[in-house]
Structure 1
Amino acid sequence: MEGELSAPLQKADKDEEYQRETPGTGIETDAIHVGQEPERWPGQAVVPPISMATTFKQLEPGKPVLYEYSRCGNPTRQCLEECLASLEKAKYALTFSSGLGATTTLMFMLKSGDHIVSIDDVYGGTGRLFRRCMAQMGVESSFVDMSTDPSSIVKHLKPTTRLVWIETPTNPLLKLADIKEITTLVHKYDPKIMVLVDNTFATSFYQRPLELGADFVLHSLTKYMNGHSDVVMGCIMMNNEEYYKQLSFLQYAIGAVPSPFDCYLVNRGLKTLAVRMRQHMSSALRIAKYLEKHKYIERVIYPGLESHPQYELYKKQMSGFSGMISLYLKGDEVEKSQRFLKHLKLFTTAESLGGYESLVELPAIMTHASVPEEHRRELGITDGLIRISVGLEDVRDLLNDIESALQYAFSDTKNN
């Protein structure tokens, strides 16, 4: 009868598996619907159109209808920002021309004499910006191990500390930091200190730092959130209205904004975020378990493995992980590492990560070459450390490719 559920749907509706723990819609639903309402577009387009206009007609001088100039605001960018905010359970989201563009814009919330406390194993580009650019502006940075003993963060805070920068899991060593404990300690020390979490590796699908007390969440949208290796973009999400007003002004004033076409591509990529992340995790966990038992592998680092030193924290603050695996080859020799990478057929040797294709790199001489050598040694970013971004190919093909390359790397044959 009309208005009644079919038998299968009645069963599903009563099944515990289908009952949401909290009210509201799921991330899969939000990624498809929030900010995408057809009613907001002429002709009620189901897919948000790309508005390439740089400027917009004003009905009278100084009184724009909705937008005035695309650096200040753009309808395609706005629908993406609304969608992104919903995925992170944030009130506000702002997008930028790159992840570092987002970071640089945020830095203008600081002033000369301020102090940043950053996790030690931070993305190479972030560390380079802090060490070589912000230092010239009079902003001091300290790089701290936040993973081993989160409570030690208090020892590194100063009256001039304005920002605590957390990246978890880290790049490339996949260390975890206890977001809730660190933010609680920092805000107890000084509520005015801003806490930011770089959530690029986990994505909004597997971790939501704002719910754990962070003030800001940053993503390199270039990676998993877009997922197709065809856009460079970044975003910052937050709940604090005052922070949003400050950062929104800086977005407008500095101008590191993305193009409408790139916003369209990221918006499209978000629609498959959930299914992609599940597959990335499934394949990566299978590969990590395989490598953990391999005779040519010294150590595998993957938060979803019970051997990970912070496995319990992983279960507490994350609901899963992505396709990122780091590993050490036995012997820790750059020659073996290079031979391994050279023989891979399906894994492309390239920087970046999080796309549908599998990538592999040597952080010591690629993504983290800008990290001072002494600091790399302290962290464990050695010549034998390899970072893998597991893509969406058939996992059996990826395992065969890895096995073949390992046999080649450790063989006595010197022929290419």
Structure 2
Amino acid sequence: MEIGQQYGFETLAIHAGNEPDPTTGAVVPPIYATSTYKQDGVGGLRNGYEYSRSANPTRTALEECLAAIEGGKRGFAFASGLAAEDTLIRSLCVPGDHVVFPDDAYGGTFRLFSKVLGAWGVEMSPAAVTHPEAIRAAIRPGKTKVVWLETPTNPLLNVADIAIVAQIAHDAGALLVVDNTFASPYLQQPLELGADVVVHSTTKYMGGHSDVVGGALIVRDAELADKIAFHQNAIGAVAGPFDSWLVLRGIKTLGVRMDRHSDNAEKVVEFLQRHSAVTSVLYPGVEGHPGHDTAAKQMKRFGGIVSFRVTGGEQHALDICNKAEVFTLGESLGGVESLIEHPGKMTHASVAGTPLEVPADLIRLSVGIETIDDLLHDLDRALA
């Protein structure tokens, strides 16, 4: 399949990078469990392959698929989402540079920027993703190289207007990076809206089955792609062949899974809005949500992540998490099974005491694709 042709999302998800094997006709790419390749003479690569840190055919298939479904020029697969983020910043910044960072973001990303990249010399300033003027005010002329967004954010489900923030970043000579993990490329296309780089934890919706850890970058500029390719090889945190194969397999059903995740999440939101123990529901699909109109404009649907706050403070929130049964108590998200967690004690413990600290009474759900009545009954019992 010629990736440049205009196929629909589901067709690209199934076929891009998945050319039938020329020898056997196998419709699923093989797992190339090899570290090195026979050379066609000294310095002569065989079809671009020499060593699997630099390139591996299974990873190539995944990277081609990633680029196709995000509408990018080139995709890159990494060992984890944080490995992708670290490689990206080291590709774009040097010590002394500055990044505008979300005021609501995944705790692991905040830890990477504040503890690791900060020690390296890259400075960051949190800014409210929902207020473009706050982002503009946080930019340091001549020093800001990257504006970083999550949208929807993790875990408060805030929504940024990607097109507006892209213009602000570009006016300042900076690049816009969008973490598209919560939405997935099925629901949102940041590159089309003006972003320069899309980030994914492919552990989540891309893989979709809680059986692989991975990350990805997708870019729309060839020169930037070459820079990232150099750093991907030089730093070396690449996705292995089996992990690449698992993510590639997961992507094939991404569209149908995201529709079911969204269906179930909408029904969970309706249930939570009616429950007396719930003080607020954070979900972009709710009409009263401050980011609802923006999300409706730039997303196909509103996704499978739901956060909510409860009466009784932190202890009640912890009790609810511990009482759930169909919702498994666990970190991560985006798998076919439903998960429940307490961000303040789990995924976002690293932001405690910072401007990104999350409410103690907050619970985050990753709504899976189980029978919806079972999910609602489980929540009703846990909230009782």
Structure 2 contact 39–46 (Cα < 8 Å) conserved: yes
Query: Residues 62 and 210 (structure 1 numbering): CA distance in 2 closer, same or farther, change over 3 Å?
Result: same
Residue 352 in structure 1 maps to residue 332 in structure 2: yes
Q: Offset of 1:45 from its aligned partner?
A: 1.1
Structure 2 contact 146–169 (Cα < 8 Å) conserved: no
SS in 2 for 1:375: coil
Counterpart in 2 of 1:402? 379
Counterpart in 2 of 1:62? 43
Counterpart in 2 of 1:278? 259
Counterpart in 2 of 1:189? 172
Q: Offset of 1:374 from its aligned partner?
A: 4.3
Counterpart in 1 of 2:279? 298
Residue 367 in structure 1 maps to residue 347 in structure 2: yes
**CA offsets per residue over residues 115-158 of structure 1, 9 Å max, x none?**
010111011111111111111111111011121x2133221111
- Residues 97-136 of structure 1: pairs in structure 2 closer than 5 A: 97-109=79-91, 110-136=93-119
Percent identity between the aligned chains? 46
- Residues 201-212 of structure 1: pairs in structure 2 closer than 5 A: 201-212=182-193
- Residues 374-385 of structure 1: pairs in structure 2 closer than 5 A: 374-377=354-357, 381-385=358-362
Residue 200 in structure 1 maps to residue 181 in structure 2: yes
Q: 1:229 aligns with which of 197, 210, 225?
A: 210
Residue 217 in structure 1 maps to residue 198 in structure 2: yes
Aligned equivalents of 1:339, 1:117: Cα separation in 2: 36
Aligned equivalents of 1:351, 1:131: Cα separation in 2: 21
Q: Offset of 1:293 from its aligned partner?
A: 1.5
**CA offsets per residue over residues 326-359 of structure 1, 9 Å max, x none?**
000013x222112111211101111000000010
Aligned pair count reads 377
Given residue 150 of structure 2, which amino acid in structure 1 is its aligned partner? Answer: E
Structure 2 contact 105–356 (Cα < 8 Å) conserved: no
Aligned equivalents of 1:372, 1:327: Cα separation in 2: 19
Residue 165 in structure 1 maps to residue 148 in structure 2: yes
Aligned equivalents of 1:374, 1:246: Cα separation in 2: 33
Aligned equivalents of 2:242, 2:22: Cα separation in 1: 17
Counterpart in 1 of 2:230? 249
**CA offsets per residue over residues 285-323 of structure 1, 9 Å max, x none?**
011011111111000011111121111101111111221
Q: Offset of 1:41 from its aligned partner?
A: 3.7
Structure 2 contact 335–368 (Cα < 8 Å) conserved: yes
Counterpart in 1 of 2:368? 391
Unaligned runs of 5+ in 1: 1-22, 408-416
> Rg: which structure is higher?
1
Counterpart in 2 of 1:329? 310
SS in 1 for 2:62: helix
Please, what is the CA RMSD of the aligned residues? 1.1
Unaligned runs of 5+ in 2: none
Q: TM-score, normalised by structure 1?
A: 0.89
Counterpart in 2 of 1:17? none
Counterpart in 1 of 2:67? 85
Given residue 86 of structure 2, which amino acid in structure 1 is its aligned partner? Answer: T
Given residue 271 of structure 1, which amino acid in structure 2 is its aligned partner? Answer: K
